[in-house]
Amino acid sequence: MAGEPITTEQLDRLCHRYTWATRYCSGKDVVELACGTGPGIGLLSRAARSFEAGDYSKTMVQQVRRHYGERVVVRQFDAQAMPYPDHSKDVLVIFEALYYLPDIPAFIRECRRVLRPGGLVLIATANKDLPDFNPSPYSHHYLGVVELAGKFGREAFKVSCYGYMDTSTVSLKQRLLRPVKKVVVTSGLMPKTMRGKQLMKRIVFGKPVMMPPEIMEASASLIEPTQLAPGVPDRSHKVIYCVATLGST
């Protein structure tokens, strides 16, 4: 939620994924799904021809409306049942939320319905194939490079995946603590509460910063993500980006 403490790395990832997405949204009809409190809405809406956002949570939708006012249309809806006509949108964005959907195949079919031929689904997701990956206790299914290609491919999407934040480039402190984290995760000792996770993150990442209600261009520099080999699990990057392009037929 906007105004809550996050790590500097989380802020970097937040800014990076929205800046990355703007290149695909320029001049397009765009919807952000599962938008949360909407930190990237300003960036996306300025790039797009038309823009709307939505979230399953009434609380999130209300917070977006308080911040953005009449700048953006935001609705409460389930991403598995979007309130848009067939073939009416060019780009659907879902960041760090795909794993909260209980029925991903149903979601992908809904994307196919709403998108025009050649339309895009832009995804950012935590990389489940890292050895020390720690899933959210509220998640359903995480998709890695292999699963993204398989599930979207079955619905006539062509998939390209990219990796961001190589684990070999993070701080020495993080690299030293990664084996410890793996032991903690595999032994079931990782805290489940938000308070416990925040304490762990403070130990690893240092003093937190506040989650912004809206990120600005000045705070969002872009390091090019690395294109990943199709069909091969990625074990090097913290974040997986996916561009799923709907076929023309």
Q: In Å, what is the CA distance from 149 to each residue of 49, 80, 124?
A: 28, 19, 14
Percent of the chain residues past pLDDT 90, beyond the cut? 73
141-187 tens-digit pLDDT? 999 999 999 999 999 999 999 999 999 876 545 555 555 544 454 56
* Domain presence at residue 184: no
Which of 122, 100, 168 lies closest to 17, judged by CA?
Answer: 122
92-102 tens-digit pLDDT? 999 999 999 99
Please state, in angstroms and rounded to a whole number, the distance separating the CA atoms of residues 43 and 20: 10
Q: Residue 104 belongs to a domain with what CATH number?
A: 3.40.50.150
- Report the domain count for the chain: 1
* Domain presence at residue 185: no
79-93 tens-digit pLDDT? 999 999 999 999 999
pLDDT at 192: 59
* Domain presence at residue 128: yes
**Per-residue pLDDT at 196 exceeds 80:** no
Q: Looking only at Cα atoms, what is the longest distance across the chain? A: 51
* Domain presence at residue 90: yes
Backbone angles phi, psi at 27, to 5 degrees: 70, 15
* Domain presence at residue 122: yes
Mean pLDDT of the chain: 88
Phi-psi region of 3 (alpha: psi -120 to 50; beta: other; left: phi over 0): left
* Domain presence at residue 194: no
* Domain presence at residue 178: no
**Per-residue pLDDT at 191 exceeds 70:** no
* Domain presence at residue 127: yes
Average pLDDT for 7-20: 92
Instruction: Identify the H or E element spanning 106.
Output: helix 104-114
User: What is the domain range of residue 144?
Assistant: 5-167+211-246
Q: Which residues contact 203 (CB under 8 A, 6 or more apart)?
A: none
Please state, in angstroms and rounded to a whole number, the distance separating the CA atoms of residues 99 and 117: 25
Which of 3, 73, 9, 63 lies closest to 36, judged by CA?
Answer: 63
pTM reported for the whole predicted model: 0.86
Please state, in angstroms and rounded to a whole number, the distance separating the CA atoms of residues 90 and 74: 17
